[in-house]
Copies of this chain bind each other. A is one copy, B any other.
Amino acid sequence: MTPDTRFTHAAAALGCSFDGEIKAGGNYLPLRRDGHTLYVSGQVPRIANTVVVTGRVGRQVDLHQAQRAAKICTLRALALLQRELGSLSQVQQVLRMTVYTQSDEGFTQLSEVADGASDLLHEVLGEAGRHARTSVGVYQLPKNASVELDLIVAAQP
C-alpha cells in the first residue's frame, strides 16, 4: 500500500473525509512552503465545520478521546500535505511535531495523548513519519478544542 492509500484507510477508520478544501480563516495560510521545508499551521480536530472533540482532557475528555482528537488533527495535517505535494509519498521526513493538549490541572499524560498523533504518522508514512516531538498541556485552545498540533515537514528534493 502507498502512503496515500494508508491515509484514505486511516481517515475512513476515524470517520473523516477531507475532500473539501481546508481553508484558513484570516490573513494566514494552512501551509507555508520554503523550498523543501513545509510549515503546517496548528490543526484542531475539525471535521467539516465542527470541532468534534472539545473540553479539558482529564475532566470532560478522557485519554482515549484525546488520542482520537490527536489522530484527527494529524489527518488534517496530512490532507494539507497531500494537497500541496500531490502525494504523501513526496514526504521525505516529518521533522518536528508540537502537540498542545487542553489539560486539566492534574492531567500529566500528555505524551500519551501525543502518541495518538505519532502512531498515525507512522502508520501512514512509515519511517518517514518519525519525528522530533514536543508535548505540552495548555490552558485553552481555539474553539475549546481538546488538542491542537502543528508540523514541520521535509519534502523529497
Is A115 in the interface zone, CB < 8 Å from B? yes
A148 to chain B, nearest CB (A): 6
How many copies of the shown chain assemble into the complex? 3
- Per-residue 0/1 for A84-122: is the Cβ within 8 Å of any B Cβ (1 yes, 0 no)? 000000000111111011011111111100110011011
List A residues 25-56 near B (Cβ within 8 Å). 25-32, 34, 37, 39-42
When A27-B121, A93-B34, A118-B28 are in contact, do A42 and B136 touch as well, CB less than 8 Å? yes
List A residues 106-154 near B (Cβ within 8 Å). 106-111, 114-115, 118-119, 121-122, 129-144, 148, 150, 152, 154
A contact residues vs B (CB 8 Å cutoff): 24-32, 34, 37, 39-42, 93-98, 100-101, 103-111, 114-115, 118-119, 121-122, 129-144, 148, 150, 152, 154
